[in-house]
């Protein structure tokens, strides 16, 4: 059983949580269910029936905003006025626990892990709703489990799926090539090593003309709102530019090409307007 595989190893909380303080505090609370309505100050969370997840327009009470100051104080970046002016909508969607797991401080051989976080960018290939429904489906087979930490819809709404202190199953059989060499971690003896233990996975909803197409095909690209929300989300982390990568770049199977038609230069330009390195 999976519990026996990992019972001698403790999940990473403090190390990864420091990097993603804002993420941890914003999405590790109990998820809102489809039929709930919650209020907190000016925030009102309600159900958007077409998509099936809780959504909020109360941007002033976004938990990401509430913890931003403490996060920035502990990182090498500071957010800018442009960041403050952009107010993305957000939602929290509950997915099945079989589709995510713990982060671990040691690998299957007992080696202590100290990988710094990376961000891995994806696309949904289908609609956002289809992706969320997939993650809500229980999976008993390790090979079929999948998830992202967050998803960004075509209109720029950020949908939180997996708490950042948990391991989303976003990239099997994968490595990250960094200045320190090849980085990958095996946490399950029945599966290849991957970047999942130190990755934060973010997916962009694929535009209609690119959905359900196989291979390295291109499409019309992502919306300005998606690029802005993606940059806004990562501006709250201390992940440096060189540790932001794509599913295509980390994949070893040769079957992953996402996010197709992604304009990295455009994304980085926006990111740099939302955060700046701190002096010293």
- Which pLDDT score, from 0 to 100, does residue 74 have? 39
Q: What is the pLDDT of residues 142-185, one digit of tens each?
A: 778 999 999 999 999 999 999 999 999 999 899 999 988 999 99
**E-assigned strands of 124-228?**
150-152, 158-160, 166-168, 176-178, 181-183, 199-204
**E-assigned strands of the chain?**
38-40, 43-48, 53-56, 77-79, 90-92, 100-102, 118-123, 150-152, 158-160, 166-168, 176-178, 181-183, 199-204, 244-246, 275-277
Label residue 280 by pLDDT band (50, 70, 90): low
Report how far residue 55's alpha carbon sits from residue 48's, in angstroms, rounded to the nearest whole number: 7
Rg (CA), the chain: 18
All structural domains of the chain, each given as residue ranges with its CATH number in brackets, are 2-32+59-277 (3.40.80.10)
Q: Helix, strand, coil proportions of the chain in percent (round to 5)?
A: 30, 20, 45
Q: What is the pLDDT of residues 238-270, one digit of tens each?
A: 999 999 999 999 999 888 999 999 999 999 999
Q: What is the pLDDT of residues 39-86, one digit of tens each?
A: 222 222 223 333 455 544 433 334 444 334 333 333 589 999 999 999
pLDDT of residue 195 exceeding 60, the answer is: yes
Report how far residue 253's alpha carbon sits from residue 274's, in angstroms, rounded to the nearest whole number: 34
pTM confidence score = 0.78
Cis bond upstream, residue 259 (ω within 30): yes
Give Dmax over CA atoms of the chain in angstroms. 50
Label residue 89 by pLDDT band (50, 70, 90): very high
| Residues near 86 by beta carbon (within 8 Å), at least 6 away in sequence | 228, 229, 232, 274
pLDDT of residue 20 exceeding 50, the answer is: no
The kind and range of the H/E element at 106 are none
Label residue 212 by pLDDT band (50, 70, 90): confident
- Taking Cα atoms as reference points, which of 139, 135, 137 lies closest to residue 149? 135
Burial of 21 (0-12, 13-18, 19+ CB in 10 A): buried
Strands 118-123 and 199-204: parallel
pLDDT of residue 112 exceeding 80, the answer is: yes
């Amino acid at each position: 059983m999976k519990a026996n595989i990992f019972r001698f190893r403790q999940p990473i909380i403090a190390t990864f949580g420091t990097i993603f303080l804002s993420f941890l505090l914003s999405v590790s609370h109990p998820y809102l269910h489809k039929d709930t309505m919650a209020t907190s100050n000016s925030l009102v969370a309600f159900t958007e029936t077409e998509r099936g997840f809780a959504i909020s327009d109360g941007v002033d009470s976004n938990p990401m905003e509430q913890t931003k100051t403490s996060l920035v104080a502990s990182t090498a970046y500071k957010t800018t006025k442009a960041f403050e002016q952009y107010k993305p909508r957000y939602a929290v969607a509950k997915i099945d626990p079989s589709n995510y797991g713990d982060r671990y401080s040691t690998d299957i051989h007992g080696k202590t892990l100290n990988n710094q976080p990376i961000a891995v960018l994806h696309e949904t290939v289908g609609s956002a709703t289809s992706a969320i429904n997939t993650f809500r489906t229980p999976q008993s087979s390790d090979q079929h489990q999948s998830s992202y930490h967050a998803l960004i819809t075509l209109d720029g709404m950020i949908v939180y799926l997996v708490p950042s202190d948990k391991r989303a199953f976003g990239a099997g059989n994968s490595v990250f090539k960094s200045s320190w060499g090849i980085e990958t971690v095996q946490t399950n003896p029945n599966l290849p090593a991957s970047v999942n233990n130190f990755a934060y996975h973010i997916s962009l909803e694929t535009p209609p003309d690119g959905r359900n197409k196989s291979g390295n095909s291109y499409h019309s690209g992502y919306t300005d709102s998606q690029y802005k929300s993606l940059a806004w989300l990562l501006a709250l982390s201390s992940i440096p530019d060189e540790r932001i990568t794509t599913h295509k770049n980390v994949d070893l199977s040769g079957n992953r090409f996402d996010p197709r038609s992604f304009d990295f230069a455009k994304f980085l330009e926006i990111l740099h307007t939302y955060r700046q390195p701190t002096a010293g």
